[in-house]
Every structure is written in structure tokens, then in C-alpha cells.
Amino acid sequence: MKYDNHKRINIFLLLTITLYSLFCIVSVVKAAGVIPEMDLITSYSSTGGTPQHKDNDQDLIYKVEQGDEISFTITTSQSDLNYLWEVKQGSQVISSSTEGTTFNWTVPSEQSTWEIEIEVTLKDEIGNTIGRDCLSWTITTSDLITVNPGESIQTAINNLPAEGGVVELAPGVHDVYDTIVINKSNVTIQGTHESEIRGHDSGSEADIFVIPHENPTYDEDWENMPTLENITFKGFKFTTAYETRGGRALVHAWQTKNLTMEDILSDSHIMMFLVTNPYGGWTDAHSDGIFVRNNTIYRSNVVTCFSEDIYVEDNTILNCFMSWALDIQPRNSRPIYITGNYVTGGANGNIRLHGASHVHIWNNTLAGNSQHCIYAAQGG
């Protein structure tokens, strides 16, 4: 996709802002835009093991047994490519390989869910990446529950065992009228862009998903509450039945470790795509490991509060109607990485760093705002 008449940031900025006893270090380097997606992977398959809920070798989500040996294979459109295979548990990379078009993996001896990801890149003669293609499989040894349109996503989550599992959204429209609560760790909500979650409640405090319980508040005893880990939202489409700005967030996460939102197409009128913890007031709730990757987000923004280890990577955020498209709110700890995004809109600007510390921003294209590309301010 070609974008014209936009601002590009091509500067190196080292900015130190004193925040009471803290220092905010912001580095902005050669923002040249998002790496183009190319159709480099032409086919794929996985074989081996004793799979369940697997329709054919091209199925990307299925259940396996501990100790199964599985081979993942792709074919590509050309030979002069670079390959990176990664096995992720939650948002953590536990193994990787650059060996080529086939990856062999032995399922660990535990109840869990893993992502097997392949990134294929094309480089020019001096080593710059000029194109890429990605694919991933979701493999679980826990439960896998498929939800068809008209069935309850909440019931599927409730029916997962204590160790979690995968809720697979079948193609079609999944209407959501009430907030869905995720109250256990190791839960993946996954579909394709043919799997559409459609929100109906346009109330100012209406969330589609909330973690870890319904109606959390800033003044709860968060220090003595457990932290939920390894929550993933992936692959589906999100829309709203209303066509003016309303609702609060697609995902509202409190006290969460390793939260991933990836490859979601959000073409909705909800205010926030993601918000972590409260976006006003003070709280003891704290989140760690926030990964927002490869999403396409229309109109909504991303807000992080009282969180650390934040990665906002390779997203397209278009025509944001909120004040700031990326809003890094007070008391975020180090580090925060904002890389490879294409961002337009925000009534006040594209990115606000309000009391954030150790923020690294590079290789973004920022456009179409009324005032600021990047706004850095003291906060506390």
C-alpha cells in the first residue's frame, strides 16, 4: 500500500526529561515506515504426532500430545530468502531456528499452548529488509474448544481447565452483548479474519474482554491478588454494531503478565483497542509484558498505564478518533519499544509519552494528526 502526503520523522532525538526523581529517555531514529508485506510463503503444512481437532495438514490450530514430534514445512516464491522460526509460550520465545523451510519440534512434557511462527524476509543487496511474510500455528496440549456463531465465548472460557487452553472462533459473526471475563492464565482466543466478533454495547464503560474479573477498580487490593499470565488474542476480526464512537475497550487488562494482541483486524467504533490497568487515578495493579503486534486498527487507540516491558510493533493504526493514537500513560517502567508502525490520526497527536520512562521509538511512519507526531510530557 502506498501512502502519500504524510510526515516522516528522520531524526535522532535524545531527550531527557526529569520526572520527579526519574529520567525519561526517548530515542527516535530513522523513521522510514513499515516493512512491506509480500506473498513470499506460497504453501504450508504440518505433519506428525497424534493431533486432535485437526482437519487437514493445513490446519493452523490443533491439539497434540506431550512428546509428539511434529514437522512444520513451508514453500516459498523464491530461494534467496531468510528464515526465522520461533517457538513462543505466551509472549516468550523459548527456542528459535534459521535452518530453512522445515522446522522439527518435539512437544514439551507439560500442559500448555505454544505458537510456532515463521517469518520469511527478503533483503536487498546491502542487507536491508525490503519485504516479509509471516505464518503461525497454535499448538496446545490443553483443551481446545471451538465456538460457532451463536454459541457463548464466555461459556467456552469457563469450560477450559485451570491450566487454560485455546478457544477457537469458527468463521462467521460472533455477537457479544455482555463483557467477557477471562479469569485464568494460559488462555488463547483465536480465529481468522473470517471470524468476526461484533460488539453491541456502546456504553462508556463497556469492554468486550476484561481481565481478571468483571468491573475491576483502581482501589482494590491488587498487591494481594494473583497475576494472570499468558493471555493471547489473535487473528480474528472485530467490529461494532454501532457506528459512532462508543464502548470502552476491546481488551481491558488489569494485573496481567505476558499479554499478546496479534494479527487482529479491528474495524470498529470502540474507543480503545487495548487499555492496561486504569487510565485515571492511582492503583497498585501492575502489568508486565504487553505485546501489540501486526494488527490493523481503525479509529481506536492503544493505551498503557502502570505497565512495563511494552512492545508496540508493526501495527497499522488508521484515522484514530481519540486524542492520541498511542497513549503511553504515567508510571510506565522501562523499557517501552514502539517500532515499525504506521500511525495516522489522533486529535492531539500520534504518540503521547506522558510520564513514561526509557522509551525507544524507531522506524515508524507518523501522519495525519492535527498537532503533534510525538508529544513527551512530564507526569507522575
Are residues 160 and 143 in contact, defined by beta-carbon separation less than 8 angstroms? yes
Q: What average pLDDT is seen over the chain?
A: 88
**DSSP-derived 3-state class of residue 147:** strand
Go through the domains of the chain in sequence order and give each one's CATH number: 18-34+143-377 (2.160.20.10), 41-140 (2.60.40.10)
Nearest 5°: phi and psi at 332?
A: -80, 140
Q: How many CB atoms lie within 10 A of CB 139?
A: 26
Q: What is the pLDDT of residues 35-61, one digit of tens each?
A: 778 999 999 999 999 999 999 999 999
The DSSP symbol for 157 reads: H
Are residues 108 and 69 in contact, defined by beta-carbon separation less than 8 angstroms? no
| Weakly modelled stretches of the chain, pLDDT under 50 | 1-33, 380
pTM of the model: 0.88
Q: How far apart are the first and last CA of the chain?
A: 40
Task: Determine the residue type at 91.
Answer: S
Check residue 331 and give its pLDDT. Answer: 61
Number of H helices, E strands in the chain: 1, 35
How wide is the angle at C-alpha 34 spanned by C-alphas 115 and 129, nearest 5°?
80
Cα separation, 127 vs 227, whole angstroms: 42
Annotate 146-169 with b (16+ C-beta within 10 A) or e (fewer): ebeeeeebbebbeebeebbbbbbb
Cα separation, 249 vs 229, whole angstroms: 20
* Maximum C-alpha span of the chain: 58
Q: How many CB atoms lie within 10 A of CB 175?
A: 12
Check residue 378 and give its pLDDT. Answer: 66
